Structure 1
Amino acid sequence: MISMVFLLCSVIFISIIFFIKHKRGKKNSNTPPSPPGLPLIGNLHQLGRHTHRSLCSLSHRYGPLMLLHFGSVPVLVVSSAEVARDVLKTHDRVFASRPRSKIFEKLLYDRHDVASAPYGEYWRQMKSVCVLHLFSNKMVRSFREVREEEISLMLEKIRRSSSLPVNLSKILVSLTNDVICRAALGRKYGGETDFKELMERLSRLLGTISVGSYVPWLAWIDKIRGLDGQLEKTANDLDEFFERVVQDHEDGEDRDRTDFVDVLLAIQKDKSVGFEIDRVSVKAIVLNVFVGGTETSYTLMEWAMTELLRHPKCMNRLQEEVRMISKGKSRVIEEDIQEMKYLKAVMKETMRLHPPLPLMVAHESTQDVKLGEYHIPAGTQVMINAWAIGREAETWGPDAEEFRPERHLDLSVDYRGQNFELIPFGAGRRICPAISFAVVLNEVVLANLVHRFDWRLPAESIGDQTGVAESTGASVHCKFPLYAIASSTT
């Protein structure tokens, strides 16, 4: 017993000495400002349930470029458009890689997908497949009929519940899931309980922090709390599902149009792109489409409707524009969207205040680099807080926390990676390749919702601030389902 106490005291003493030396060494080096941390775990204890908010609060004290330590891992946190430009444009190649992650390795086919693959030849090949073959303008247009059919089904579902509160969150989840399923897999899977539960598990786990990834000698904590078991089961279930999907396509299952799996299998068969795509890569890329497509799209639409319901004047102005441009039509078509300036302003304002991924997927430096006056060593992880950048008062003014779409009518700021004040899809080499696919769906759905119905909150929700409460996880949507009452205008 005495020997155990002595050993424990020795470990604590050595940890404190190491921590003090580390802090002294850091003070003498030219590194960004850092909040004080704890021995061994560094700053991990300062991450709250909503990490983007915790990091934003810290940045107000330590600046838009600060250095944290998650265990032994140095993590650079970027909270301003100016610094984001340095990382994603000036030094884009240096920061174009991704850090290793036990969670990504388990769930995303050992990082054979596009989003988490390390920077290199494999990533370049897979991205070119996505850009040229899956998300080209031609491919996006080819799924127009799918979008129209699913939107019509959604509008009819809402019409049947007219004058009663409808769970708009559930309806939007179903819509985006059905569109992505039909585009990527050739048919709907949203009605299958097992599939929905699997996607929910995947989303939750992707937003989980693995203690062992940052403090290896505490990896046993991940096992004790059940994370390792959940990762193993979910990875196996995912692979079993996507293997079945690929096999169905190879067996010639009848479908009415070419989907993403068809395209990838054709590339794999004829090797037309100049390099080989194996079966694991096919499944990993299709999985990426789900992770990046369903959650982010429905989240943006849910937040847009939430804000419009909380700001009736904005809702009225949007309805006037949409109904004027689509006058005489039973629904809004995609050509109409191009003329809807206020609709686009509403979408931009929603992306600014509620980016679906408030913390962009982490980057990692591949070599030493200088950011401003600071030295950043190779192997440093970089977290870009898109949520904090979207609320930066220096950029957006004293009303940065307010939902005011009008601000975008006089600004040329866009979300396609050229303006770092608004980067919901990222920027630089690792920008999301599916921007066009996502945006056209978001805009046409929102336009049809306000064109076809007048909306109001249930009486018990008026004045209730829970409508802007956030969920936890990698993708941040409304914490509580959005209920609203739709009155048909036709």
Structure 2
Amino acid sequence: MFYSKPMSISSPSFKFHSFSCQTPKPIVKKSYSMDFQFIQTLSFIAFTLILVFKYKARTRRLPPGPWKLPIIGNLHQLGDSSHKSIQRLSQQYGPMMFLQLGAIPTLVISSADAAMAIFKGPGGGHDLAFSGRPTNLYVAKKLSYEYNSITFAPYGELWREMRKIAITELLSSKRVQSFRTIREEEVAAMVNHIDIASSSSAPVNLKKLSLLLSNDVVCRVTFGKKYGGGGDDGTNRFDRVLHDIQHLVGEFVVSDYFPWMWWVNKLNGMETRVEKNFKELDKLYDEVIADHVAPTRTKANHEDIVDVLLRLQKDARQLITLDNQQIKGVLSDMFIAGTDTTASALVWTFTELIRNPPSMEKVKYEVRKVGNGRDKIEESDIPKLNYLHSVIKETLRLHPPAPLLVP
């Protein structure tokens, strides 16, 4: 509220006059009148803006959603477990819900039928309209090498070709089968570790063992050799970087929801931490690529993921020529996304079996029956383990490693 400035006694324009019985002019009344006009004008503008926003909301025909606060929108309703909060809200507002996350309007789909209606509905659906990725994700942008990965690449020719490479070259049935020996060797090493620990009554940290198993398998499949605590060189560089990056990916980043507040990343140390871990990860990728292109490198019995990507880089028949940045982006997809999700699924499966002894007994009976007295189960026996399949599916339903899809 504005007030008129009182005259100062020290002002040159102030003079003493003889006393008079006349009533002084109502200066204060004039000030209050001006203030009232200002408040009236401000109220009219605010009321007009509210009507405009409500009209736009009606014309945009947004899905139902919870009431939102100014500026932050619905961020305060997500809590620590975003997927649980969204699930609770979807029970109230339906499988198609609108949330305002800061400055980012967000459509939440929480059922298969609603997703099918959107992507494959009448007239072909809106698949193309929702095929893009956000371009304001600070950590993802850095780790994906400016969105040069399969996960975060914008919809277009680059994404289509990288997806085709992943399906036909990196994750084909033939390629997965070629890594069978690696999986069997690493699982045998884990079982041997548990056997030794149990014979001496030593405690077994299943979480640590599961993470080590998935890390070693992913490293050997992707890079051709192990890196980490169980690696051939005895280092734990990848373990440390992976641990820090996973924490960064799960943290709340202000600029993801308020893009104009990018400077907050500098103040709270987020930018420093991301740059530090990115430089270390990039250095490791450079070492891996340099090792693969070295003329003195011993040729392996099978191609790892880096071998495949470098071969495709030289293939003139490809519609796009992969550069090293795009190769590193794909490596981040394989390494960062593949390690923690596998370990999480293993740990929760073990946990649920321990919690449910009857289910544990059924799994043990089925494994012994299929094994038929053999020392170990082969991968060819896995299709016969029907009850174990059901246990794993139920575990993934209860404890999905990634309960929310990439936006």
Give 1 or 2 for the bigger CA radius of gyration: 2
**More moved, 308-317 vs 203-212:** 203-212
Report SS of the residue matched to 2:380.
Answer: helix
Cα separation, 1, equivalents of 2:260 and 2:364: 57
Cα deviations by residue, 1:204-263 (Å, 9 ceiling, x for unpaired): 222233221321333333322211222222222211110111011111433533211011
Give the equivalent residue in structure 1 for 2:187: 151
Report SS of the residue matched to 2:100.
Answer: strand
Q: 2:66 aligns with which of 20, 23, 35?
A: 35
C-alpha spacing 1:207/1:318, structure 2 compared with 1 (3 Å): same
The alpha carbon displacement at 1:341 in A equals 0.9
CA contact (8 A) 2:169 2:175 kept: yes
C-alpha spacing 1:62/1:143, structure 2 compared with 1 (3 Å): same
The alpha carbon displacement at 1:69 in A equals 0.9
C-alpha spacing 1:18/1:226, structure 2 compared with 1 (3 Å): farther
The alpha carbon displacement at 1:88 in A equals 4.8
Which one has a larger percent helix, Structure 1 or Structure 2? 2
Give the equivalent residue in structure 1 for 2:290: 247
Give the equivalent residue in structure 2 for 1:75: 106
Give the equivalent residue in structure 2 for 1:471: none
Q: Letter of the 2:131 partner, please give it.
A: A
Give the equivalent residue in structure 1 for 2:30: none
Cα separation, 2, equivalents of 1:106 and 1:330: 46
Cα deviations by residue, 1:318-340 (Å, 9 ceiling, x for unpaired): 11111101112111101101111
Q: Letter of the 1:81 partner, please give it.
A: A
Give the equivalent residue in structure 1 for 2:311: 266
CA contact (8 A) 2:227 2:237 kept: no
**Are residues 1:216 and 2:251 paired?**
no
Report SS of the residue matched to 1:77.
Answer: strand
CA contact (8 A) 1:15 1:40 kept: no
**Are residues 1:95 and 2:130 paired?**
yes
Q: 1:256 aligns with which of 297, 300, 312?
A: 300
Q: 1:113 aligns with which of 149, 159, 182?
A: 149
Cα separation, 2, equivalents of 1:306 and 1:217: 44
Q: Letter of the 2:273 partner, please give it.
A: Q
**More moved, 55-64 vs 352-361:** 55-64
Cα separation, 2, equivalents of 1:17 and 1:324: 75
C-alpha spacing 1:17/1:256, structure 2 compared with 1 (3 Å): farther
Cα separation, 2, equivalents of 1:210 and 1:239: 22
**Are residues 1:190 and 2:228 paired?**
yes
Unpaired stretches in structure 2, ≥5 consecutive residues: 4-38, 230-234
Cα separation, 1, equivalents of 2:208 and 2:46: 49
Cα separation, 2, equivalents of 1:211 and 1:15: 28
Q: Letter of the 1:66 partner, please give it.
A: M
Normalised by the length of structure 1, the TM-score is 0.68
Report SS of the residue matched to 2:193.
Answer: helix
**Are residues 1:178 and 2:203 paired?**
no
Give the equivalent residue in structure 2 for 1:356: 401
**Are residues 1:278 and 2:323 paired?**
yes
Give the equivalent residue in structure 2 for 1:139: 175
**Are residues 1:165 and 2:208 paired?**
no
Which one has a larger percent strand, Structure 1 or Structure 2? 1
The alpha carbon displacement at 1:46 in A equals 1.7
Q: Could you say what the CA RMSD is over the residues aligned between the two structures, in angstroms? A: 2.3
Cα deviations by residue, 1:376-413 (Å, 9 ceiling, x for unpaired): xxxxxxxxxxxxxxxxxxxxxxxxxxxxxxxxxxxxxx
Identity, in percent, stands at: 39
The alpha carbon displacement at 1:27 in A equals 4.2
Cα separation, 2, equivalents of 1:146 and 1:203: 25
Report SS of the residue matched to 1:320.
Answer: helix
The count of corresponding residues between Structure 1 and Structure 2 is 354
Question: 1:462-481 to 2 correspondence within 5 Å?
Answer: none
Q: 2:378 aligns with which of 333, 358, 373?
A: 333
Report SS of the residue matched to 1:164.
Answer: coil
Bigger relative contact order (CA 8 A; separation at least 6)? 1
Give the equivalent residue in structure 2 for 1:465: none
**More moved, 167-176 vs 87-96:** 87-96
Q: 1:236 aligns with which of 255, 274, 279?
A: 279
The alpha carbon displacement at 1:133 in A equals 0.9
C-alpha spacing 1:245/1:18, structure 2 compared with 1 (3 Å): farther
Unpaired stretches in structure 1, ≥5 consecutive residues: 4-9, 363-490
Cα separation, 2, equivalents of 1:74 and 1:30: 13
C-alpha spacing 1:337/1:71, structure 2 compared with 1 (3 Å): same
Give the equivalent residue in structure 1 for 2:19: none
Cα deviations by residue, 1:51-91 (Å, 9 ceiling, x for unpaired): 11111121122221110111222101112222122245443
Q: Letter of the 2:130 partner, please give it.
A: F
The alpha carbon displacement at 1:105 in A equals 1.2
Give the equivalent residue in structure 1 for 2:20: none
Normalised by the length of structure 2, the TM-score is 0.82
